[in-house]
Structure 1
Amino acid sequence: MSATESDPEDAITKQEIAGTAPAPEPSSAGVGRGTKRNAFAELMGPKPKKLQEPQPLASKRGAFTGSFKARDGLGAYTADPTSFPTSRVIYHNASFVAINDLYPKSTVHTLLLPRSPRSRLHPFDAFEDPEFLAAVQAETARLKRLVAKELQRRYGRFSAQDKLREDILNDKVEWEDGKPLPVGRDWEKELLVGIHAHPSMNDLHIHVLSRDRMSECMRHRKHYNSFNTPFLIDVADFPLAADDPRRHPGREGFLNRDLRCWRCGKNFENRFKKLKEHLDQEFEEWKKE
């Protein structure tokens, strides 16, 4: 099988694997996108070089060049994260790189990439090392906090649970100086976190994304079910037991299950277009919670 081809257990298309599928503009999705000024991106992103355009290891459309082609494409980010713009790389350190997914499946969709030789192993094997697993779980928790803050920044003004907090921030309610702001909505609970039981890319990557599944890149049944069934395994669940059914995603048929709304549970069977229309409505209601 060619490196750009997809097999029955892949959750993404061969065009996405090759980096040639249509991708959203940088301003349309992701952490640190879509605003003139974003303190989160300014704080966490690498400092830009003086008046110098970044020289990414990718084309404008995201197709990787050099040795980082197709299923090895994510390696470009861990090899040289500073060569990518802050619209793509959120932050990096000696052990990890956090990026906005090139093909987001929700309004906010990030990936955590470990910079370790173990990252070339299947997650089931990589996470057998308790020290490595603990490091990944700790960094995932950090990225979750950052993505939750991004969700609150974007959608807090719509949320009933965040109303008091938003009113204080907008000077609609008097608040004692120095008194902590109300915590408001627990946006971390609005996140999906984990690895795919059958990763489509060779480098280990942990998905941290909002639950909404609102994206022009959510294009077919496998896209949706890869985040709405046990095909997505939370890193907190590792190490997996030897008889855990999630070790056999093809046998369990996760990607071919009926399409069910993530919020209300309605079964759309195989009617993906109807599900997408329904998700538009659920998205507006979800923001208001």
Structure 2
Amino acid sequence: MGEWKFSLVKSMEDPVLQVYTDDKIVIIKDKYPKSEYHYLVLPKENISGIRLLNSSHLSILKYMDTKAREFLREHYEGLVFWLGYHAVPSLQRLHLHLISDDFKSTALKTAKHWNSFTTHFFLPSSKIIKDIEDFGSVQLPEPSVCEAYLKTKLKCHKCSFKPSNMPSLKQHLNDCH
């Protein structure tokens, strides 16, 4: 029960998903991408999640961020990507999302999926690093605030369009620049 929460460890070892690996991290394709381009950066060190981060993790967080940006510069120059973490991740193992801002994907199905990337539920990598530098831990929103983010009414991330449902939003995304 709940073994899917630990699926990232298995995905890290899958050569079909791996796009970069070194002695500290692995970058993999997200198995259920929520955008045209969606990757995860995972440390090889077993860090179960964002809540347990402290100043001892600062160097790996900076390394993950740097390698993510290098990967994007090498492969996706000119495209807009967001780098960040979910405030309450659904999967165990710390993972940094690299996601293109088109959000065109068949796996993007629910308002919860949408809001997990387009509200303050999605915490920029730079914020996580700064929190560790300034406070020694990540300053996370309260659980009730996270729940509210996930229940936010749909709104396009590029304009003021407020669709009534996901199919309407997805149609809009095809035309919105």
Q: Calculate the TM-score normalised by the size of structure 1.
A: 0.54
Give the 3-state SS of the residue equivalent to 1:71 in structure 2. Answer: helix
Residues 147 and 209 of structure 1 are in contact (CA less than 8 Å); yes or no, is this contact kept in structure 2?
no
Is the aligned partner of 1:255 residue 2:145? no
- Superposed CA deviations along residues 47-73 of structure 1, whole A, max 9, x for unmatched, are xxxxxxxxxxxxxxxxxxxxxx41111
Is the aligned partner of 1:104 residue 2:65? no
Residues 43 and 64 of structure 2 are in contact (CA less than 8 Å); yes or no, is this contact kept in structure 1?
no
Cα displacement (A) at 1:215: 0.6
2:171 — aligned with what?
A: 277
Cα displacement (A) at 1:206: 0.7
1:213 — aligned with what?
A: 103
Is the aligned partner of 1:71 residue 2:5? yes
Distance in 2 (CA, whole Å) between partners of 1:206 and 1:250 is 23
Higher strand share: 2
Give the 3-state SS of the residue equivalent to 1:90 in structure 2. Answer: strand
Pick the aligned partner of 1:230 from 114, 117, 120. Answer: 120
**Letter of the 1:84 counterpart:** P
> Given the superposition, is the C-alpha separation of residues 275 and 134 from structure 1 closer, same or farther in structure 2, using an over 3 Å criterion?
same
Is the aligned partner of 1:143 residue 2:68? yes
Is the aligned partner of 1:114 residue 2:43? yes
Q: How does 1:68-217 map to 2 (within 5 A)?
A: 69-78=3-12, 81=13, 83-85=14-16, 88-117=17-46, 119-120=47-48, 122-126=49-53, 128=54, 130-152=55-77, 185=78, 187=79, 190-217=80-107
Give the 3-state SS of the residue equivalent to 2:117 in structure 1. Answer: coil
Give the 3-state SS of the residue equivalent to 1:247 in structure 2. Answer: coil
Cα displacement (A) at 1:135: 2.0
Residues 260 and 266 of structure 1 are in contact (CA less than 8 Å); yes or no, is this contact kept in structure 2?
yes
Q: Calculate the TM-score normalised by the size of structure 2.
A: 0.86
Residues 231 and 249 of structure 1 are in contact (CA less than 8 Å); yes or no, is this contact kept in structure 2?
no
Distance in 2 (CA, whole Å) between partners of 1:279 and 1:116 is 37
- Superposed CA deviations along residues 22-68 of structure 1, whole A, max 9, x for unmatched, are xxxxxxxxxxxxxxxxxxxxxxxxxxxxxxxxxxxxxxxxxxxxxxx
Query: Percent identity between the aligned chains?
Result: 24
Residues 77 and 97 of structure 1 are in contact (CA less than 8 Å); yes or no, is this contact kept in structure 2?
no
Cα displacement (A) at 1:149: 3.7
Cα displacement (A) at 1:243: 10
Q: Tell me, which stretches of 5 or more residues in structure 1 are unaligned?
A: 4-68, 153-184
User: What's the C-alpha RMSD, in Å, of the aligned pairs?
Assistant: 2.2
Distance in 1 (CA, whole Å) between partners of 2:56 and 2:138 is 23
Give the 3-state SS of the residue equivalent to 1:74 in structure 2. Answer: helix
Pairs aligned (count)? 171
- Superposed CA deviations along residues 126-146 of structure 1, whole A, max 9, x for unmatched, are 2x1x24223222222222232
Q: Tell me, which stretches of 5 or more residues in structure 2 are unaligned?
A: none
Instruction: Compare relative contact order (CA 8 Å, sep 6+) and give the higher one, 1 or 2.
Output: 2
